[in-house]
Amino acid sequence: MPLTDIEVRAAKPRDGKLTKYSDGQGLQLWAHPSGAKSWRVYMRVEGKQKSLTLGAYPELSLKDARRAATAARERLAVESASTGPSATVPAPKATFGTIKAEWLDRFERSDAAKKTKDKMIWHASLAAALDNRPIAELRAPDILAVLKPLEEKGYLETATRLRSTISKIFRYAAAGGHVDSDPTALLRGALQPPKPKHRAALVKRADFERLMRAIDGYSGKSGIVREGLMLLALTAARPGELRLAQWGEFDLEAAVWTVPPARMKMRQPHRAPLSAASVDILRRLKIDDGLARPPSPYILPGPRAGRPLSENAFNVALRAMGFSGDEATAHGFRSSFSTLANETGLWNYDAVERALAHQDGDDVRRAYHRADYFEERRRLMEWWAEQIAAMVTG
């Protein structure tokens, strides 16, 4: 059955996968997981089935897509009659929008975090003004025209990330033979660079001690948040890594937490030794979880069954304790740990960096320097737990 305008508007990918809707006579509407939709037509060329991308929807309506498909079939018929069975139909010029949709589909099948994928889709949507343009005809000034309004509004970080996203799309297009080069390379230095943002952190011992005492005395609406903040301080983990941690990642007997690569910033698994104080908190949480109905897979369950603690729970608690956003953040605990540990001179700098799951910025050094420092990190985390205990008791 031919498609209707209502069906085309309502078409969505099923189960988050690319879904194809047939209009008949080889014309299909592709609903991509990214939310984009594109038209393709299938025809027989030299006895083999070939597909041509006609354009993106809604820029190319159902009516126009049918006309484009008919025109493609007519070209095939004319050329076949005039040149014989070896005739082929010249493919229409690929637009930026169709290549972008293909690249997003590919990216969504990667192992990147959902949050990263959502951001990439959003950044790609900001380049919608280029979607109907043949990608091979786009030049650096065309792309700069999309980026400049963001820069003028002060969205420097967004403009920089959008340029990077467009660059990735062009490199994908180059691999497919649609373009010869990436014009975004000519825009380096054309945009004002964003100012680096440093997350607020208490890096003086007296200030961090004040924070630890506040957390120890925090009641809030749930002891889960207090326990979570203590674990955040004790482990120096990223807030997202801890908030989404599940019981299957922990070996409490061996006192080891293995964070899976999908939740690590660098997509590498991370083995973290746990101090005795961390294990004690986890055992308490495990007992509480055993009493819950139903038990949660997360070590820090949220109020809704089967869901983790909310993304803002830690920072909301810090504000309730009287610490402003310019003074302390959940992510800032890592800076506190790094600064106070390195200032003592007791610990190998690389061991502290490995405890933070940081990758070496030097590509060559990273390739050869693969030491784990696990035993030193175990002693380091035990020492850090003793420091926090001393801060709490004064």
pLDDT digits (tens, 9 = 90+) for 302-315: 888 778 888 888 89
Pick the CATH number of 5-83 from 3.40.50.2300, 3.40.50.720, 3.30.160.390, 1.10.10.60: 3.30.160.390
Tokens encoding 83: 């040149």
pLDDT digits (tens, 9 = 90+) for 164-190: 999 999 999 888 888 888 999 899 888
- CA 83: distance to chain centroid? 51
Chain mean pLDDT for the chain: 83
Residue pair 285/301 in contact (Cβ under 8 Å)? The answer is no
Span 363-378, average pLDDT: 63
Residue extents of the structural domains in the chain:
5-83, 96-187, 205-393
Tokens encoding 339: 């600064």
What is the pLDDT at residue 256? 92
**Residue 101 and residue 271: Cα distance in Å, rounded?**
37
pLDDT digits (tens, 9 = 90+) for 216-231: 888 765 688 899 999 9
- The CATH code of domain 96-187 reads 1.10.150.130
5-83 and 96-187, same CATH topology: no
- The CATH code of domain 205-393 reads 1.10.443.10
Q: Which residues are catalytic?
A: 238, 265, 331, 334, 358, 368
